[in-house]
Amino acid sequence: MQAQESSTRPVPPLPAHQYSKTQELAEELVAEALDDFPPLPNLTMRSNTVRLLAGMYYVHGSMAFPRGWVTPAMRAFIERDVDCPNAKCWRSYRSDLKDNPGQFLNNPGVPTDLIRQMELDLMGEA
C-alpha cells in the first residue's frame, strides 16, 4: 500500500481590483487576524478559511470587512503554501459564516468558542 501524496489545488488568480481607500485597512485586518488564526498545513481549505474569517470577525467586530479584504487573505494562504479558495469562494464562505456560523462548528481546527459567540452576536442582525 503506497502512501498518497497530498494533492494541492491550483493557485487561484488574485482579484484584479484594488480599493485604494480601504486596501490598507483590509491588509491590516488580515495581518492582525493571521497572528491569532494562521492557516495550518494539516487542515482542510474550508477549516483554514473559516479560521481566518472568524479571526477577522474577532478583530473587526463585524462581518462587513473593508473593501479589498479578499486579496490579502488569498495572498496570506498562497504565501504559506496552503490550499487557497478562489475569490468567489472566499466571499461565499464569509456569507455562509455570517448567515449560519454554527454550520462550521464541526470543522477541525476552527475556533469553536469564537464561532459560538458569533452565533449569539449575529442572531440580532438581519
Q: Using CA atoms, how far apart are residues 61 and 109, in angstroms rounded to an integer? A: 21
The pLDDT score that the predictor gives to residue 125 is: 61
Question: pTM value?
Answer: 0.86
Instruction: Give the integer Cα–Cα distance in Å for 83 and 122.
Output: 28
For residues 83 and 121, give the distance between their C-alpha atoms in angstroms, rounded to a whole number. Answer: 29
Burial class (CB in 10 A: 0-12, 13-18, 19+), 51: buried
Does residue 35 contact residue 10 with C-beta atoms inside 8 Å?
Answer: no
- The values of phi and psi at residue 96, to 5°, are -65, -40
Q: Encode the chain (126 residues) as per-residue pLDDT tens digits.
A: 444 444 567 888 878 777 778 889 999 999 999 999 999 999 999 999 999 999 999 999 999 999 999 999 999 999 999 999 999 999 999 999 999 999 999 999 999 999 999 999 877 665
Give 108's contacts (C-beta < 8 A, 6+ positions apart). 43, 44, 47
Q: What is the pLDDT of residue 20?
A: 78
Residue 19 CB contacts under 8 Å (≥ 6 apart), including other chains: 26, 66, 67, 68
